[in-house]
Amino acid sequence: MINRMSSMMRMIFICSLMGAISVPLVSATPVDLSAEWQVDPKYNANEAYCELQNMVGVNSIMAYAIIKDGNIIAEGYGEGRSAAGIYQPWSVTKSIANIIIGLMITNGDVAANDTLATIFPDPNDWINVSDAPAKMTLKLSELMSFTSGLTRGGLIIGYATLREELASLMYEEENRETWIYLRDDHIFSWIIYKVTGMTPRQYALSLDFFTKLGINETEYNWGTFGVEPLKLETTAHSFQTNVRQLAKFGQLYLQGGVAAPGGEQLIAPSWITESTTSQPEEGYPQGYLWYPTSRGYEARGIFGQYISVIPSRNIVIAALRRDCIGSSRGFIDAAHSRLDKLDNGVDGACPESLWDRVVPDWAKVGMSLVTESVFGDDQSSLDYYPSNHHLRSP
Ligand SMILES: *[C@@H]1O[C@H](CO)[C@@H](O)[C@H](O)[C@H]1NC(C)=O
Ligand SMILES: *[C@@H]1O[C@H](CO)[C@@H](O)[C@H](O)[C@H]1NC(C)=O
Ligand SMILES: *[C@@H]1O[C@H](CO)[C@@H](O)[C@H](O)[C@H]1NC(C)=O
């Protein structure tokens, strides 16, 4: 695997491994996610907020929300963005797919060690599929940790049939157990569909899942692929909503898979632990479609979209950046470095001195970049999305 990595990637991988220490994963005090977020007394009146606000609206930071102890304590929106908007969090959708599969696991519909032979038993789906016997042995767990030996996935626009999806996958036996990220592939949509007989959205609705998270039908948009009558919701990208709602997915995991105090166990805690801890024994720290970090775990989408869960602080941060410009990591790191300051209340408006103090950080969030049209040149996104195929405009 090392041969396949650039020196930049090697560095990141080593640094990330050093950071991936074990942390307690589940918080003790669930809140009712079906209700609006409760507001912390220091809401938007704390030093962290005063400093982070300097980054909003410049350099493409478009929205963030920080949840602490189950209450919203800071949030901000760039020009033209709002708490109720619907925005694209790109591959954060993969981590939401992990949650949907977590519902299936918890309901006993599928197991992490089920193979594609079990999940896709119809021989017609395998006609003319290269390396079909090997692909049939791939486990769901291997697919979810990107260690299946699949070195190329399907197209970002998806396929109309499962056979085309399976045929699009390139398998290399020698790369089994090697971490290789498949950025665009929607195989999890097919897995959910074939196991449950429902599209991902239908399955979630059948369990009242979004209602339990307080996300009503007007508050999200879930992109689809395929042709009528079979359109499946995407699982690589395009579960679109806003930061207040994205934070609920992180909070659901933070509170151990229950959506309310005393609520039913929607997701098994063992699935949450397994999904958010590193699965490949070596290589890039990757759970099941979540990324373990030194602080906890993250959902990541290209160009700086995040749900970051920090169990030791009982904090969830959701942050969205506008596409295509600048450093993708700057804002979330800035937020992480200010968690202590959430406790430092300020009276009324943010003091001038605080606003001044953050100016040097602006460089971190990409002052130097000016164009919105370049998709492939965002090196900082490449940092987090290394893969065999390079980033190209969809
Ligand atoms: C598959 O996973 C299930 C649930 O974790 C476990 O009970 C079973 O023993 C596993 N089967 C194999 C063949 O590893
Ligand atoms: C499989 O490949 C054969 C030979 O190229 C072709 O004749 C047949 O139509 C293909 N079947 C499907 C279902 O694509
Ligand atoms: C859905 O949520 C939005 C925003 O909170 C609200 O304005 C709308 O009335 C809700 N719709 C339904 C059907 O509950």
Q: How confident is the model at residue 4 (pLDDT cuts 50, 70, 90)?
A: very low
Q: From start to end of 184-327, where are the E strands?
A: 221-222, 224-227, 230-233, 239-240, 291-292, 297-301, 305-310, 315-321
Neighbouring-strand partners of residue 158 = none
* Backbone conformation region of residue 118, classed left if phi is above 0, alpha if psi is from -120 to 50, else beta: alpha
Strands 291-292 and 239-240: unpaired
**Any domain includes 391:** no
- Residue 116's pLDDT is 98
Quick one: pLDDT band at residue 27, thresholds 50, 70, 90?
A: low
**Mean pLDDT (whole number) for 195-223:** 97
> pLDDT value at position 388?
28
Instruction: Indicate if the pLDDT at residue 45 is higher than 70.
Output: yes
Closest-CA residue, ligand 2 atom 14, reads: 128
pLDDT at 161: 98
Q: Which two tokens mark 77?
A: 């929106």
Residue having the nearest C-alpha atom to atom 14 of ligand 1: 113
Q: Output the pLDDT for position 322.
A: 74
Task: Identify the band that residue 80 occupies on the pLDDT scale cut at 50, 70 and 90.
Answer: confident
CATH number, domain at 248?
3.40.710.10
Measured at the CA of 13, the angle between CA 9 and CA 14, to 5 degrees, comes to 120
- The set of residues, in sequence order, having a beta carbon less than 8 Å from that of 299 and lying 6+ positions away, is 89, 91, 92, 94, 95, 96, 249, 250, 290, 291, 305, 306, 307, 308
Ligand nearest to the CA of 115: 1
- Residue 37 — pLDDT band, cuts 50, 70, 90? very high
* Interval between CA 216 and ligand 3 midpoint (Å): 6
Which helix (H) or strand (E) segment holds residue 269: the answer is helix 269-276
Ligand 1 centroid to Cα of residue 114, in Å, is 8
Q: How far apart are CA 294 and CA 308, in angstroms?
A: 11
Phi-psi region of 288 (alpha: psi -120 to 50; beta: other; left: phi over 0): beta
Residue ranges making up the domain that contains 215: 2-384
Stretch 255-284: mean pLDDT: 92
β-bridge mates for residue 240, sequence order: 221
Could you tell me if residue 77 is inside a domain?
Answer: yes
**Mean pLDDT value across residues 252-276:** 97
The CA distance from 87 to 242, in Å, is: 6
Highest mean pLDDT among 83-87, 181-185, 197-201, 299-303: 197-201
Locate the DSSP E strands across 209-276: 221-222, 224-227, 230-233, 239-240
pLDDT at 1 over 50: no
Closest CA to 159 of 137, 203, 135, 189: 189
Note whether residue 394 is domain-resident. no
Q: Is 389 contained in some domain?
A: no
For the CA of 114, the nearest atom of ligand 1: 1
| Closest alpha carbon to 266 in 249, 291, 242 | 249
Domain membership flag for residue 390: no
Of 128, 163, 168, best ligand 2 pocket probe by most atoms within 8 Å of the beta carbon: 128
Q: Is the pLDDT of residue 75 over 80?
A: yes
> Is residue 166's pLDDT more than 70?
yes
Residue 320 backbone phi and psi in degrees, to 5: -125, 140
Cα separation, 320 vs 243, whole angstroms: 7
Please count the structural domains in the chain. Answer: 1
Per-residue pLDDT at 97 exceeds 70: yes
State the Cα–Cα distance between residues 184 and 186, nearest whole angstrom: 7
DSSP 179-192: ----SS--HHHHHH
In the structure encoding, which two tokens stand for residue 347, read together?
């009276």
What is the average pLDDT across 294-299? 94
Question: Do 50 and 355 touch, CB atoms closer than 8 A?
Answer: yes
Q: What CA–CA distances, in Å, run from 119 to 94, 123, 307? A: 19, 12, 29
- The pLDDT mean for the chain works out to 83
Asked if the model's pLDDT at residue 280 lies above 80, the reply is: no
DSSP characters over 356-390: HHTGGGGGGGTTT---SS-STT-HHHHHH---SSP
Predicted confidence at residue 119, as pLDDT, reads 98
Share of the chain above pLDDT 90, in %: 68
Q: 319 lies in a domain?
A: yes
pLDDT at 21: 40
- pLDDT mean over 239-268: 97
Residue 121: band (very low, low, confident or very high) from pLDDT cuts 50, 70, 90: very high
The whole-angstrom separation of Cα 145 and Cα 153 is: 14
Mean pLDDT of 6-18: 35
Ligand 3 mean position to 84 CA, how many Å? 10
Ligand 1 probe mutation, 104, 113, 288, most atoms within 8 A of CB = 113
**Bridge pairing between strands 38-39 and 71-77:** parallel
pLDDT surpassing 90 at residue 150: yes
Confidence tier at 323 by pLDDT (50, 70, 90): low
* Ligand 1, CB cutoff 6 Å, lining residues: 111, 113
Q: Which atom of ligand 2 is nearest to the CA of 127?
A: 13
The predicted model gives 283-292 an average pLDDT of: 90
- Indicate the pLDDT class of residue 81, thresholds 50, 70 and 90: confident
Cβ 171 vs Cβ 135: under 8 Å: yes
Q: Which ligand is nearest to the CA of 220?
A: 3
Task: Kindly indicate the confidence band of residue 78, based on its pLDDT and cuts at 50, 70 and 90.
Answer: confident
